Amino acid sequence: MIEYIKKDIFQVDAEILVNPVNTDGVMGKGLAYQFKKKYDSNHKIYIKECEMKRFGIGDLIITKEIDGKIIVNFPTKTSWRENSKIEYIQVGLNKLKEYMIENSIYTVALPPLGAGNGKLSWDLVKKEIEIFYSQLDEMKFTVHVCEPEKLDSKLSKSHLLLLKLIVETYKNGIGKEKLTDIVFQKSIYLFDILMNRDFFKFDKEKKGPFSKLTGVLYNELKKYKNLSGLSLEEMSKYLEQKYTSETLEKEDRAIIKSIKLVNELYKLNSSDQEFEDQLELVTSILYLMNIENKSNEEEIVDGIVSWNKRKKEKYDSNKIVNTIKYMQNENIIQKGIFQNYTINRI
């Protein structure tokens, strides 16, 4: 039997799980990185074989794990920098077929080999998988094929980060009606600050740091959500498989920390308006510290009241100083020996 499924490969009931890798010894992103995190001993064996130059196209590195799974490391490309080639898939599937028949192993879970980061056409890869299956005894063997989700390939890492931030916000009890443009913008800015980069291109605007890019990305997400019929969680899971890396793990921590702060501010303030005002002030202080190098209370207070007339009327010096102290208590910023503040990053 051959079965096409849209499912996490680690949840498939199969004896063999196929891990698409390069022959460089790098499991840097995507599904290979997930295998690296889940099966450390397999990763170490793979690294050793690559270092010894004993692993090339058409070779399989096979390990047996304590959970009973057999991991087949299947080379879909020579270098992580290069694209896959269909002949790599053909020769690898032939070796996999021989291994399964010789060892009487009857169930296997295949990812879309080379059709993700490898850039091969899924239709082309699917044909090779069907040829592979046709050479097995269909009464004995079961091939589970984890099909790629049909999401637009233009969905980027930026879309994934926004999705994860929205999902994390909802998980923390800030519902859709509370996730206003102000809250959305400032939550993303906190993430950028924690990561110490300007990923979403924030500018100094009337109500604090503002990114036009996030609005564009959000509208694209809405469009693809409507076209695909997938939930936000499903879209996030698909993109996470595509962009999973060590950097994404760090970004996950920054997202969790930023939403935790937003949630705490939400609980501390008695009205939605007070919550948004406080969030605006916190992010504006961070902007002044990060972009304009304001580092002590006097400079920060002056930066807020001189930002524009609106801020001068909304935030007096006591409010600003108390917010600085709150940020210090929450470990968002810290005070040095010369009374200057610095931002605590991830």
| Cβ-proximal residues to 169 (8 Å cutoff; 6+ apart), any chain | 179, 183, 187, 259, 262
Give the residue carrying structure tokens 């695909």: 228
Antiparallel, parallel or unpaired: β 333-335 and 208-210: unpaired
In the beta sheet, which residues pair with residue 109? 17, 144
Length of the chain: 346
Give the residue carrying structure tokens 């076209």: 227
The one-letter amino acid code at 81 reads R
Q: Which of 266, 300, 261 is nearest to 284 (CA)?
A: 300
- Per-residue CA distances from 141 to 14, 64, 107, 127, 144 (Å): 11, 19, 6, 18, 10
| Cβ-proximal residues to 179 (8 Å cutoff; 6+ apart), any chain | 166, 169, 170
Any idea which residues carry the catalytic annotation?
77
Are 135 and 100 in contact by the 8 Å Cβ rule? The answer is: no
Helix (H, G, I), strand (E, B) or coil at 108: strand
What is the H or E stretch that residue 16 is in? strand 16-22
DSSP 245-297: SHHHHHHHHHHHHHHHHHHHHHHH-SSHHHHHHHHHHHHHHHHHHHHS---SH
Are 191 and 183 in contact by the 8 Å Cβ rule? The answer is: no
Are 15 and 105 in contact by the 8 Å Cβ rule? The answer is: yes
The one-letter amino acid code at 94 reads N
